[in-house]
Structure 1
Amino acid sequence: MNNQQGAALVVVMALLSGSLMLGMSGMQSALIDEQLAGNYRASVQAKMNSDSMMSEFRKNESQSLLDEIYNTECENNASCYEEYERNILDSLEGIEGLGSIVKAVKVEKNNDEIIITMIDQGTNNDAVGETVATYKKGSEDVGLGGDDNDGEGNDGDSGGASSLPFESPIVGCEGVQSSGGSTFSSYNSGVGGWVEGQPGSFAEQDIPLVRTTSANANVVLGGSEHIHGGIEALGTVTLNGSSKVFGSILANQTIYLNAGGGYVQRNAESRADVIFGSSTRVDGVVRAQGIVSLTWGASVGKGIYAQRGVSSPGDPQWNPPEGHIDEDNRSNFFPHTSVSISEIDSQPCDIVDFAGNTLSEEIARYQNDLASIGDVVVNDGVVDITMTPSSISVSGSDIHEHVNGAVPSDDTLFGEAARIYYVDDLNMASKSKLQITGGNVVLVVGGDFTMGGGGAGLVIDIDSSLTVFVAGKVNFGSVLNIEPEVNSINSNGQATFSLFSGYQGSGSGVDFNSSNRVVANVYAPYTNVSVNSGANFFGSVRGRSVNVSGDGSIVYDELLGGAFGNPDDVWDLIGWQ
């Protein structure tokens, strides 16, 4: 005992010192991680705030404001835009969720482009977030969603009321329902033909391809639909079967992801709840101002943000909610955080200005002003009716002498001088053909417009177009079989076949039942539009409600946005970042 020199004490003290250093190092690392997580969260919140500000601006933007900015000569003096910046800031005050944001707006003009920047100047931990929107007049771009692929913000373009009838692909103002495995897609006919399965600009830029515009109006995908673009609804959105959305979903009410094997390529954002009822995969983020409810097999790629909590089935120890997020992004799990998602505002269904009239008023005016040719009814035989902008000819029938040689009346279309035919009822069955040739033909049908039978049906030359206003019902059978070289836009840049329905009675006012190729652009704001297609429907559909069935495709030509009116006079959103 007397020979011991205290070595054990030295060793113990050395070990204690090492342990203390390791502990302090771990604490320091944990503090740094906490600070990094807080800073990241603050930066994400700042970006979401600036996105929300921009979404509100987008909903209330006016073409006249952008014109004023463009026509203001500042000669590189940025301060001369301050009045516009103050006015935009004033318009954001009092909007729910934006009042507490320390915000700023920057307006710039760069040659023929206007650049609007929304800035969160440091509401949370001095983190700054910016969202930049770029506008250009007469652009062929349809409009953009966010290029923020991580979805950390409300990037969707909820848009505003439009005066162009075919600017949006599928609009069911009071609801859209699809079943049977339809594909909804888009393409640009100026670049080339549509290739099945190849996404167009709506998918690439995350633009809503399917929309509703009335309060509580829902979107329901009932089968194995493929939507190559986003979905935007003022009511709920429901995915059943194995439906896939190659874009984002934005809804004022609950999003139900019930599709076993379903898929959302971008984000799912709801001002209410997001409910996973099956093993749906969301590649982007899930954001809800209510709750997010997960189920076995549900997975999320980039994060979950919920205001009222996140739940998952089973024991949280073995199935924690954050475990449904991809491992690299599990730090993006915020079950009780402030979530700001701009409300999608309701819009009228009849949005087109017919030189000061609504659609129903314009059809009533035609009925009052135009001289009628009478009924055109083909029930038997092979009858060919050819319509040009200047006259009608009939072959194969002796009972249509009142039609043969008929000429149009002078009137107006969208306020411009036009020659217009008027018939009471148009019913073509049997082996009949209605050919449109020689240019742009305008027809008003005061009663019903029906085409069926086994003839050639409706034939439109590639350099011609048909615009039809119908007061009664429209029913097209398999007689519609438009040739492959005919697109939604003709060779002169005009909508090939435009159908304006003013029907306001019960049942579906517009019915397409065809297993052949159909080209049509439908504007029916007062009635249901039913599309039952086993083939491909090329065009645009806007109805009070839209019901799609069959396993065919509805394909929108991105050039349709400027098919009526002058696209060179419209400011388009060409960039969002």
Structure 2
Amino acid sequence: MKQQSGFTLIKVMLMSTMASVVVIGALKETVIQERLTGNFQKDMNARLLAEKGIFTAANNLQKIVSDNSSFSVDDLVNQHGLHVGNGEIGDDTVYKARLSKSAEGLLEITSLGQRYYGDANQQLVARFELKPADIKSPFQHAVTGCKGVNLSGSGVVDSYDSSKGPYSETNRDSSGHVNTVIGDSSVTITGNSPIKGDVKASGVIYLKGSSPIIGDVHSNTGVEISGGGGTSYRVEGNVYSGGFFTHRGGEVKGYVRAVGNVEMKWGSKIINANNDPYDIMYGGTGNFPASYHAQESVQLDDGTTRQNVSYSDAYFRKTPEIEPVKVYDPSSPDYDPAKPNKECDPFELPLNMPDVMEQNPERDQDFAVGATQTYMFTPKIGRLMTSQVGIKKAVALDSKKAEIYLFDNLSQSHGISDTTEERVFGMKNFKVYSDGKMTITGGDVIFLVDGDFVLDGNAKLTIKSGSSLTVFTTGKVILGASGQVITEKEGMTSSGIPSLNFFSSYSGRDGFQVKGASDMYATIYAPLTQVKLSGSGQLYGTVRGSIIDSSGGSGVHFDSALKDVNFGSGGGSDEKSQLIFKGWFFEPAKPLPDLETDEGETSNSDSGSTDD
């Protein structure tokens, strides 16, 4: 027999060794791949947690700025600077989002996401622009009569902008609008009272006498134009009526739209200056003189063109689509008498006035400045400057701290650095009479009058340039025939407050009376009472009341700068402040400050779900 050499065994051992090397190499590669996959998963989890921090912080901040339109980027950083939370897959998943302000003024949210107790870290930075809410002041019109407006005499209603200079030195425009907002409230314009703006009413609009409207006329109920002469154009814009239209004389420069019946008399005319296809459209019956027809040739529905188409023709008998004037209906099913009418009273003044007067420091004491007396108010003190011997002296007053809700978005200039609260003077009744004089100077002065405010006789109230007076009153306001109110600089002070403001919650008759022959700059806000403007004095500013009666030569010159006044807690638009996403980027992870070390900052915890 042959002797065995054992070479096969060696070959098997060599092949086994090679196979082992291959297997070990494959195992090592698998381990490396598994570790890479694990690390990628950790990083992905950390990245998703960083994203969750951004989403959570942004959602919380969006709600905050929606609820408080006055918040700035600095307010968000200082009051809501840190947001922390966890993911759902374990206690080792954490995010921490920190707020800061970029050099460009953008809001930056830096979010650190962590997995496995810090083994995996990802940091994401997102930038947002804070777009403030479009604050809409309730002072949008020259004249707002919640239940009606009656303008007679020769007073002009027009508009100017005090931020560009006084009325006498600036251009007037046609935004001196007149409107009503409740139920079937009507507007009656008689005499020669030109309205350089639109007239809107929930009820009937009566244009009597020779008063022209340099704008549109818009009514939910009907429009009646009398046969009075004195001017060619009775309406220089268009006429929109949700009901009837009666035209007895004069010209409408634009076109007419009426949902109901239409009647035109001899002497009336529709010019249709812009050549709209329809001089007039109406949904009811039409009563016209036989010769009344379209000013231009018209193209009928069948494509043919005709000349002299009568207003009685079917071409014009089409119900127009007219957007109604916004009104408040107290007969609606959801009406709650305990809640004020937001259309007429956007500041909810009667609801809030008890809280305001609770802060009246002298609500049981009358205040009076009489003959030969001169009195001065600053935001800090009120003191008598001069007085004859033997005349009862007006008492000295010190202002007191208060929080007035209408100043939520405005900072009163009172020169006191240790408080952000308002400083107010309180009294039961206020009266300056005979030849008494009162001066407002040194900043923004606030009166709380739990009674009547009267300026009578030859009394004079002077508001110095750069200062303002705001009066909250529960009683009547009477500015007598010989009384004078002088504002050295009309418009807003540097703090954004109009130079003279009246806020009245009085609900009786004739609660606001302006009788003087002198001019006055003021915002008048008296939604529950009648405002009577008589005499020849001109009102620069705006007026809002239950019913507005203007007679004689009284005119209203709307200050369009008042559209930007930011009195708080009412009057805002439906639009909210928004955070607008501007972009994002990842950066090397670095620790963010712990909650315990961020003294004075607010943290927000969240443990909601995420796709981590």
Q: Deviation digits for residues 325-352 of structure 1, max 9, x if unmatched?
A: 4789966954311311122231336655
Q: What pairs with 1:2-17 in structure 2 (closer than 5 Å)?
A: none
Q: What pairs with 1:383-462 in structure 2 (closer than 5 Å)?
A: 383-397=373-387, 403-414=395-406, 416=408, 417-455=421-459, 457-462=460-465
Aligned to 1:230: 198
Q: Does 1:247 align with 2:232?
A: no
Q: Does 1:342 align with 2:323?
A: yes
Structure 1 residue 503: deviation in Å?
0.5
Q: Deviation digits for residues 363-389 of structure 1, max 9, x if unmatched?
A: 21233333206111244x211111110
SS in 2 for 1:547: strand
Aligned to 2:7: none
- Structure 1 counterpart of 2:212, which letter? K
Structure 1 residue 420: deviation in Å?
1.1
C-alpha separation in 1, matches of 2:572 and 2:472: 26
Structure 1 residue 229: deviation in Å?
0.3
SS in 2 for 1:342: coil
Check the 8 A contact 1:163/1:351 in 2, yes or no.
no
Check the 8 A contact 1:391/1:408 in 2, yes or no.
no
C-alpha separation in 2, matches of 1:229 and 1:197: 17
- Structure 2 counterpart of 1:529, which letter? V
Structure 1 residue 308: deviation in Å?
1.8
Structure 1 residue 436: deviation in Å?
0.7
RMSD: 3.1
SS in 2 for 1:414: helix
C-alpha separation in 1, matches of 2:166 and 2:396: 37
Match of 1:283 among 244, 249, 253: 253
Structure 1 residue 396: deviation in Å?
3.2
Q: 1:172 to 1:401 in 2, by over 3 A?
A: same
Match of 1:528 among 524, 527, 530: 530
Identity %: 26
Match of 2:282 among 294, 301, 306: 306
Aligned to 1:97: none
Deviates more, 1:257-266 or 1:546-555: 257-266
Number of equivalent positions: 401
SS in 2 for 1:364: helix
C-alpha separation in 2, matches of 1:287 and 1:519: 37
Aligned to 1:172: 145
Check the 8 A contact 1:239/1:259 in 2, yes or no.
no
Q: 1:479 to 1:489 in 2, by over 3 A?
A: farther
Check the 8 A contact 2:157/2:195 in 1, yes or no.
yes
User: How high is the TM-score relative to the length of structure 1?
Assistant: 0.64
C-alpha separation in 1, matches of 2:252 and 2:433: 48
Aligned to 2:544: 542
Unaligned runs of 5+ in 1: 1-62, 68-135, 140-161, 204-208, 573-577
Aligned to 1:362: 352
Aligned to 1:216: 184
Q: 1:394 to 1:326 in 2, by over 3 A?
A: farther
C-alpha separation in 1, matches of 2:556 and 2:448: 26
Q: Deviation digits for residues 458-506 of structure 1, max 9, x if unmatched?
A: 100120011101111110013443447521334554211110011112x
Q: What pairs with 1:465-480 in structure 2 (closer than 5 Å)?
A: 465-480=468-483
Aligned to 1:107: none
Check the 8 A contact 1:165/1:564 in 2, yes or no.
no
Check the 8 A contact 2:138/2:571 in 1, yes or no.
no
Q: Deviation digits for residues 254-305 of structure 1, max 9, x if unmatched?
A: 100005235101101101111012x221000011111221111111111111
Check the 8 A contact 2:487/2:499 in 1, yes or no.
no
Q: 1:225 to 1:284 in 2, by over 3 A?
A: same
Aligned to 2:557: 555
Aligned to 1:78: none
Flag the structure with more relative contact order, 1 or 2, with Cα contacts below 8 A and sequence separation at least 6. Answer: 2
C-alpha separation in 1, matches of 2:357 and 2:571: 32
- Structure 1 counterpart of 2:255, which letter? V
Unaligned runs of 5+ in 2: 1-64, 70-130, 273-278, 299-306, 329-340, 409-420, 576-612
Check the 8 A contact 1:232/1:249 in 2, yes or no.
yes
SS in 1 for 2:372: coil
